Amino acid sequence: MVTPSPLLLRGRIFDGARPAVMAIVNRTRDSFYAGNRHHDDESAHAAVQSALSDGADIIDVGGVRAGQEGESVSVEQEIERVVPFLTEVRRRHPEAILSLDTWRAPVAAAAAEAGLDLVNDTWAGHDPGLVEVAARIGAGIVCSHSGGLPPRTDPVDVRYARDGESEDDALLADVRRVLTAGAHRALSLGIPRDRILLDPTLDFGKTTANSLTLLRHTADLVDLGFPVLQAISRKDFIGESLDLPADERLEGSLAATAVAAWQGATVFRTHDVRATRRVLDMVATIRGDRPPLRQERGLRGPR
């Protein structure tokens, strides 16, 4: 078993004994998963409260749908969707760890006063200024891999292998190269190693076979020496593996989560906080990183 690299945010350490659950809160009308559309403030705040009550460690707020389908959202519109909301979440939950899901540096800069702890750059440094903003405001950064695609682009005719290479080997080499480069840039800007997350970014710039390969090779990404984030929840590779729509992908998501947790991933981004928290705690206990909360069976005689 590979030992997870620890993540340190807002004075809290996440590691093999306590992997982090990152709750998704989408300030959108068009998220691919209808169960996480929280465009209105009341719904979004209720989602945050529910996530924290269910065991979420990080609240990840986004204002734009990831895929190319859905409405166009300008920088100004994205700021309006996420910044006042994050500011209010910080007021209501001063100890919460807040993450912003954006690829745009101006949006992260506008959210600085909310006390951001993490910037989740899903589109692999498309805006090179984003990691600079994270460094300037003292936030952590998620370094991702999107196969070179620009934001909100769905993959078409994806292939990583050349000249007789194995597709799996070529994919893994490319992901390791891109994530390492992103992490080293963050280090050069002064972001500490324990606040730099590596995300292979399943589905983004990838076929279902590619995503399954990267899931199976989670340990090879953990071996790079940074905490690894796996964003698995209800994604298309789950749906295509089981031929199920987004609202029926919970069990597949949890199975994949258990596999990645066993291999040492530190953070799990999810729509389903309570179920994911329980899976991670159980895997950590099986690994021997976390003791059972009770140990009575076979240890007590009859009263």
**Over the stretch 162-209, which tens digit does the pLDDT of each residue have?**
988 999 999 999 999 999 999 999 999 999 999 999 999 999 999 999
Give percent of the chain above pLDDT 90: 90
CA distance 216 to 258: 11
pLDDT value for 183: 98
Mean pLDDT lowest among 9-23, 149-163, 198-212: 149-163
Residue 160 has pLDDT above 80, yes or no: yes
pLDDT value for 34: 66
Residue 237 has pLDDT above 70, yes or no: yes
pLDDT value for 118: 98
Q: Note whether 184 and 163 are within 8 A (CB).
A: no
**102-129, pLDDT tens digit by residue?**
999 999 999 999 999 999 999 999 999 9
What share of residues in the chain are helix, strand, coil (percent, to 5)? 45, 15, 45
Residue 18 has pLDDT above 70, yes or no: yes
What is the rounded average pLDDT of the residues 11-37? 89
Q: Note whether 63 and 73 are within 8 A (CB).
A: yes
Residue 135 has pLDDT above 80, yes or no: yes
pLDDT value for 39: 80
The CATH code that applies to domain 7-287 is 3.20.20.20
Q: Note whether 258 and 44 are within 8 A (CB).
A: no
Name the burial class of residue 207, with classes exposed (0-12), middle (13-18) and buried (19+) by CB atoms within 10 angstroms of its CB. Answer: buried
pLDDT value for 221: 98
Q: What is the mean pLDDT of the chain?
A: 95
HSE, side-chain direction, 13 A CA sphere, residue 2: 23
* 255 Rama sector, left if φ>0, alpha if ψ -120 to 50, beta otherwise: alpha
Q: Note whether 257 and 263 are within 8 A (CB).
A: no
**67-84, pLDDT tens digit by residue?**
777 788 999 999 999 999
What is the rounded average pLDDT of the residues 132-152? 96
Instruction: With CA atoms as reference, report the closest residue to 267 among 209, 226, 210.
Output: 226
